[in-house]
Structure 1
Amino acid sequence: MSTTPSPLRLSVVVPVKNEAGNIAALVAEIGSACGPLSPFEVVYVDDGSTDDTHEALVRAQHSHPWLRIVRHDRSGGQSAAVRSGVLRARAPVIATLDGDGQNDPSFIPALYAALDQGGPGIGLAQGQRVGRKGRWKRFQSKIANGVRGKILKDATRDTGCGLKVFRRDVYLSLPYFDALHRFMPALVTREGFGVVHRDVIDRPRFTGRSKYGMFDRLWVGLLDMAGVWWLIRRRRPAPSATEAARDGSGGP
């Protein structure tokens, strides 16, 4: 990966799988929302779609030159798709959102501002959904987030929200595993960075049905939660290191 400084302010990473009907409208919304943050890019990661998602992205690319397309040869899951996008992103700050239209990109500038105003010690601005539809979904989320919060003490009401803005180098310092994106507040805190929160409005998906399993189903994430708890417990402060001068004096 190139270390050349990028003129871009923001890269927006959007993981999608079989979301052909949602591409055009969401791409247009992202472009409008991120206009004040120009120059920016949008990296869509097609996670092994079997419908016309790729073709819809190619059509959108014709009218949106800032749109880039990354394509998985088979589905690797949402965490893998986010990571593929972040690895190929060229800006120092990354925004993520789900590709089904439920995450409103109009909240990206506020999350970006929260991260920026916090200074280099803040690693993540995490969206927290309000106005979620479906009583059963809200109940599942409340139980899962309550258990997770007691175990990981991440001070985050809703880690499942796809709307996040974070520093690329902080993300790449995190241990990678499936479901990483669900535990980012705890892991970012583990690395010594702060997390800020902003409420965002949840809305119905544009078309289609959910493609990825929801963390709201608590039992799916129990092993992952135990692993993250272990990582937090094993964290030790990193010693400060200096390189000895040639005369052995220990100078920089």
Structure 2
Amino acid sequence: MEFEFTIVVPIYNEEDNLLRLEKEMSHYLEMATKKTKVLLVNDGSKDKSQQLIEEICARNTAFSYILFQENRGLSAAIKAGFDAVETPLVGYIDSDLQTAPADFNLLLEKIGEYDLVTGVRANRKDKFVKNMSSKIANGIRRAFTHDGMDDTGCPLKVIKTDYAKRIPMFKGLHRFLPAMILLQNGKVIQIPVQHFPRIAGVAKFGVWNRLLGPLMDCFAYLWMKKKYINYTIAKRG
């Protein structure tokens, strides 16, 4: 049976989470509703992440990896994953496992009708400042994009690969994935998913990243929306 679904996992200095990631993802592969493989994208980690990644991939035939020469950021890691995927569906989850791989099955139930299905973190387990800054940033983004999404920062998504590959990704645009699918006249929906506290490693985004960064990215999105090329071929001869 050919693979139908690839889960992209961006990784940057997550050596303390990777063995747990291997365990949880391996468990999910046994219960996945579609034949699934995992693509680990190492965003130029400086710790022992790459050594662990290679060991994990050697033990698990459904795991593979990409290693960046240098750190290029989360959006670049996601974009590289999208570019490399060959399955009809692509998913995305963070390596800190604050969301549950098992919840991919909830998203996959809806992907036939929709082109992007994103999680909404129910009962978030983050600290107050992180929750509030994220809520404000989502409100700002929603006012600019009118995408109707409550939590685009949720690191649990499933996208039809042909839509994902057409996303003109730039730094920070990982927050705008639903909006970029809407630009392609695609359909999006959000589904409540579980959320857990980070138990290892260090968060890569602070208040600055969650507030000022997204505000600046909103203007970049508006420029892209104005310039975006979208067409449908009616006939070939």
TM-score normalised by structure 1 residue count: 0.86
1:248 matched residue in structure 2: none
2:200 matched residue in structure 1: 207
The DSSP-based 3-state class of the residue aligned with 2:189 is: strand
Structure 2: gaps spanning 5 or more residues = none
Tell me if structure 1 keeps the 8 A contact 2:8–2:40: yes
Q: Which of 28, 43, 47 pairs up with 2:43? A: 47
5 Å-filtered alignment, 1:214-229, equals 217-229=210-222
Q: Deviations over 1:214-233 (max 9, x none)?
A: 78621112221112123334
1:240: how far off? Answer: 5.0
Tell me if structure 1 keeps the 8 A contact 2:184–2:230: no
2:135 matched residue in structure 1: 142
2:64 matched residue in structure 1: 68
2:88 matched residue in structure 1: 92
Work out which of the two has the higher radius of gyration on C-alpha atoms and give 1 or 2. Answer: 1
Letter in 2 for 1:87: D
Tell me if structure 2 keeps the 8 A contact 1:34–1:109: no
Q: Which of 129, 144, 150 pairs up with 2:121? A: 129
Cα distance in 1 for partners of 2:196, 2:20 equals 14
Q: Structure 1 residues 168, 237: CA separation in 2 closer, same or farther (over 3 Å shift)?
A: closer
Q: Deviations over 1:122-177 (max 9, x none)?
A: 21001111222211111111211112112210000001111000011101112121
Q: Structure 1 residues 9, 233: CA separation in 2 closer, same or farther (over 3 Å shift)?
A: same
Tell me if structure 1 keeps the 8 A contact 2:130–2:207: no
Cα distance in 1 for partners of 2:84, 2:207 equals 26
TM-score normalised by structure 2 residue count: 0.91
1:234: how far off? Answer: 4.5
Aligned Cα root-mean-square deviation (Å): 2.0
Structure 1: gaps spanning 5 or more residues = 1-5, 244-251
Q: Structure 1 residues 75, 237: CA separation in 2 closer, same or farther (over 3 Å shift)?
A: closer
Tell me if structure 2 keeps the 8 A contact 1:14–1:97: yes
Letter in 2 for 1:230: W
5 Å-filtered alignment, 1:76-115, equals 76-115=72-111
1:57: how far off? Answer: 1.4
1:26 matched residue in structure 2: 21
Cα distance in 2 for partners of 1:191, 1:131 equals 31
Cα distance in 2 for partners of 1:24, 1:140 equals 30
